[in-house]
A = this chain, B = another copy of it.
Amino acid sequence: MGMSYEFWMETFSHSAAGTPNAASNHAVGIRDVATRAGVSPATVSRVLTGGPASRETRERVEAAVRETGYRPNLSARRLRTRASRTIGLIVSDIRNPFFTSLSRAVEDAAYRADMRVVLCNTDENPTREAMYLRLMQEERITGLIIAPTRATADRLETMTFDFPVVLVDRAGPTGAHDSVVIDNSAAVDTLISHLLGRGHRRIGGLFGNTSSTAQERHRGYAAAMLAHGLAPEARMIEPSAEASERELARWLTEPDRPDAFVGSNGQIVLGMARAVRSAGLAIDDDVVLAGFDNEMWTEMIGRGLTVIEQPVEEIGRSAMDLLFRRLERPDVAPCKIVLAGRLIDRDETPAPRAA
């Protein structure tokens, strides 16, 4: 604020920090700049934060900043202003492509708002999650975006924080905090209808056992099956590719098995694809798969694998919007944004977008 990009870019090149053999810019403070510019620290502060200052003063201060290579100390500034301009992002594992994209969207929005992002992976480990929640409080963050484990999701409802919290991906009924989710029940419905349309009647399901989202997808699956007079065949697993591969490998050897399977997230679908291959079966011809997350590898498989693409970028952006909205008006009622998933139907596209 106050000073332009150009100013700072220039600062970079000319400053002491940019010159190897400059007098080691030994903790240049605002007083040093003030002395050099022949003004008071308060004036330097004003110039730096875009406060009132005469043209001449402003120039002298900017010169002094450049010459000294001064960098304001954010800890001090935060302590004083009580504004950390920091967003906390807590997810289970950034390597889950859903969270990867989410973090990118969040970081982009944060950058635009001149904020930083502290990234935290919990590995679905409640202890680690609790540590990070505590950290967020100690950082006095501006706002938190979190995809909580189920246990924590419940506890979050009973906790109050000094900053707004937005739940993403995983959120139960509207509760104490704002949230952004996709319509899981509708999405599963779409998936099941698609499989039914392709003539499948035996549709098995593999669902994660740690998140409320997997739970919702499971319920949606069961409901959809029953609505069509079919028997749900669901198994709950740890939501990892490994667990999924193991479970489906076993399932595939059972007599009278389903010929189509649904997975509750990208990792699970990946494990399923591996299991099918390992069993020497062909996706599409022998087994049909469906699930969530339009990952790159699903594109490579093509036919026989149908997924629901989640509008991840929009989820991230919406989460930041909710955060900012609540910062402005802390008292509006908690709100839940429900976005739609999109069916990626590669079965309908025989030739992959040829020229």
A11's nearest neighbour on chain B, judged by CB, is: B134
A321 to B102, CA, bound (A): 29
- Bound-state CA distance A139–B117 (Å) is 12
Within 8 Å of chain B (Cβ to Cβ): is A222? Answer: no
Interface size on A, residues (CB 8 A): 73
B118 and A116 form a contact (CB under 8 A): yes
Expressed in whole angstroms, the minimum distance between the Cβ of A24 and any Cβ of chain B is: 8
Copies held by the complex: 2
* CA gap between A24 and B139 in the complex, in Å: 18
A351/B100 contact (C-beta < 8 A), A17-B160, A107-B121, A131-B8 known: no
Indicate if the CB atoms of A137 and B297 lie closer than 8 Å.
Answer: no
Q: Does A280 contact B12, Cβ atoms closer than 8 Å? A: no
Decide: A130 and B12 in contact? CB cutoff 8 A: yes
- Would you list which residues of chain A between 87 and 136 have a CB under 8 Å from chain B? 93-95, 100-101, 103-104, 107-108, 111, 116-121, 127-128, 130-131, 133-135
- B contact residues around A133 at 8 Å (CB): 12
Q: Are the C-beta atoms of A127 and B9 separated by less than 8 Å?
A: yes
Q: How far is the CA of A83 from the CA of B104 in the complex (A)?
A: 28
> Most B CB atoms within 10 A — which of A18, A24, A277?
A277
Question: Does A295 reach chain B (CB closer than 8 Å)?
Answer: yes
Contacts A100-B100, A295-B296 given; indicate if A278 touches B352 (C-beta within 8 A).
Answer: yes
